[in-house]
């Protein structure tokens, strides 16, 4: 009796819901809808879930970039809730082509005055863009200009979606979509963390302008990001932003690098705001001061040096205190100038030594003469 009542209850349930469900012997199945647009469509509280929903059309064979419109977006007019969350697949080339499967996973939404979206592509590059089509603004997937893609299908959740394939020739103003949300990846790196393997110079990870990667430790968070033409490392604030807490910045225009500062001077390849410690520093210097020892070198007289020092309060060819405070020191050039002074001082000492030796010889001769004359001179009492 209980089994009979159970069967009756099940039949009654199907009877009650028959007007909202469809289970044909062949074709598409609908739950919550009698007009499914996919092999399986589930509708619950206006929330649609599709399995292998076909997207008509194919891309242009290596002629132009194509776009898959996802849904309209907010620009200046408020929009109703619309989203596409799931996997989109396609088949590229003929049956003998390599790597034929094209797959992207999208998670995009526009509601009221906000646009959000992320995309993960497999096998080949794809990205989210905003564009104008038939005078309306859309969020779309940009498809690379390669062999034709066809047999598109979508599996996932969608609402007020477009899911229309269009040629690049029919759209205007395509721009990279810059998301405002933070992407978080967590796991144990040794066992379950993400990893990338690339062959040659390829983009394993790409960030749009203004994007950053945050590295979080127990004590402090750190970031790596780029904006404009600058790459920077920074202390992350509580919200993950960088503020002015920069460790290092690099300028993509000229390759200049700043450590410990928030600006990059244009006249130095490396700027360190603070103390630089090193065990060895090697400076490649093109010119050196050995010319001082050349026979043609005119060694300034000590009288000339004395006159210069009295007038300028520093040695010739050595920067003044004012110049050092204003412009700093060129270590290579300054070492060369110091060596020049040491070499000039060496020449002065050599000349002085010659003078001393000459005087010593004269003194020795005089002492010898005095020694010979001493016996002939009577002692003065």
pLDDT in tens, 2-28: 544 444 444 344 444 445 777 676 778
In a domain, residue 26? The reply is yes
Decide: 116 and 177 in contact? Cβ < 8 Å: no
My answer on whether 68 and 126 are in the same domain is yes
Total domains present in the chain: 4
Mean local confidence (pLDDT), 336-365: 93
Handedness of CA 21, 23, 24, 26 (dihedral sign): positive
Domain end point (choices 156, 176, 196):
176
Burial class (CB in 10 A: 0-12, 13-18, 19+), 24: exposed
Instruction: Convert the pLDDT of each residue in 297-310 to its tens digit.
Output: 999 999 999 999 99
Residue 203 lies in a domain: no
Q: What is the pLDDT of residue 9?
A: 46
| In a shared domain, residues 155 and 238 | no
123 pLDDT band, cuts 50/70/90, is confident
> 285 lies in a domain?
no
Distance (Å, rounded) from C-alpha 219 to C-alpha 236? Answer: 11
Phi, psi of 118 (to 5 degrees): -135, 155
Among the listed ranges 46-60, 165-179, 208-222, 315-329, which one has the minimum average pLDDT value?
A: 208-222
| 306 occurs within a structural domain | yes
pLDDT the model gives residue 186: 64
Continuous H helices in the chain: 2-17, 302-312, 321-327, 331-373
* Tokens (6 digits) for 203: 């983009």
Two tokens, residue 11: 């039949």
Q: Is residue 198 part of a domain?
A: no
**Mean pLDDT to the nearest integer, 111-134:** 90
Same domain as 162, residue 62: yes
**pTM score > 0.85 for this model?**
no
Note every long-range contact of 230-234, with CB atoms under 8 Å and residues 24 or more positions apart, other chains counting: 230/264
Residues 153-207: pLDDT tens digits? Answer: 999 999 999 999 999 999 999 999 987 766 666 666 555 555 655 555 555 566 6
Q: How far apart are CA 155 and CA 63, in angstroms?
A: 28
Indicate whether 266 belongs to any domain: yes
Angle at 44 between CA 42 and CA 47, to 5 degrees: 85
**145 within some domain:** yes
112 and 225 share one domain: no
Q: Any idea what the Cα angle at residue 48 is, between residues 42 and 51, rounded to 5°?
A: 60
Tokens of residue 326, six digits: 């204003």
In this structure, the answer to whether residues 123 and 22 fall within a common structural domain is no
Domain that holds residue 25: 14-44
Q: What residues contact 213, with CB distance under 8 A and at least 6 apart?
A: 205, 207, 223, 224, 225
Residue at 379 is within a domain: no
């Amino acid at each position: 009796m209980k089994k009979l009542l159970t069967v009756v209850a099940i039949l009654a349930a199907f009877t009650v819901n028959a007007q909202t469900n469809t289970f044909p012997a062949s074709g598409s199945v609908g739950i919550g809808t009698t007009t499914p647009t996919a092999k399986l469509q589930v509708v619950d509280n206006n929330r649609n879930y599709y399995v292998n929903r076909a997207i008509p059309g194919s891309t242009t064979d290596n002629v132009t970039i194509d776009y898959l419109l996802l849904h309209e977006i907010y620009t200046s007019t408020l929009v109703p809730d619309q989203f596409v969350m799931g996997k989109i697949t396609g088949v590229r080339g003929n049956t003998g082509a390599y790597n034929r499967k094209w797959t992207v996973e999208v998670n995009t939404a526009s509601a009221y005055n906000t646009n959000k979206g992320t995309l993960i592509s497999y096998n080949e590059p794809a990205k989210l863009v905003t564009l104008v089509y038939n005078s309306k603004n859309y969020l779309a997937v940009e498809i690379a200009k390669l062999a034709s893609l066809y047999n598109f299908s979508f599996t996932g959740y969608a609402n007020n979606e477009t899911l229309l394939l269009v040629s690049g020739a029919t759209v205007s103003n395509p721009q990279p979509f810059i998301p405002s949300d933070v992407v978080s990846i967590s796991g144990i790196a040794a066992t379950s963390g993400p990893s990338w393997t690339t062959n040659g110079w390829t983009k394993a990870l790409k960030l749009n302008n203004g994007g950053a990667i945050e590295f979080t430790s127990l004590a402090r968070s750190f970031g790596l990001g780029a904006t404009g033409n600058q790459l920077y490392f920074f202390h992350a604030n509580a919200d993950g932003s960088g503020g002015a807490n920069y460790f290092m910045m690099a300028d993509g225009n000229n390759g200049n690098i700043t450590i410990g500062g928030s600006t990059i001077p244009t006249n130095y390849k490396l700027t360190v705001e603070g103390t630089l410690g090193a065990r060895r520093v090697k400076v490649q210097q093109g010119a050196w001061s050995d010319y001082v020892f050349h026979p043609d070198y005119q060694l300034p007289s000590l009288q000339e040096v004395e006159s210069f020092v009295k007038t300028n309060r520093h040695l010739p060819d050595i920067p003044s205190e004012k110049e050092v405070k204003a412009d700093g020191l060129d270590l290579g050039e300054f070492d060369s100038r110091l060596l020049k002074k040491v070499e000039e001082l060496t020449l002065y000492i050599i000349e002085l030594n010659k003078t001393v030796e000459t005087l010593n010889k004269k003194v020795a001769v005089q002492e010898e003469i005095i020694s010979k004359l001493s016996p002939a001179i009577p002692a003065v009492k």
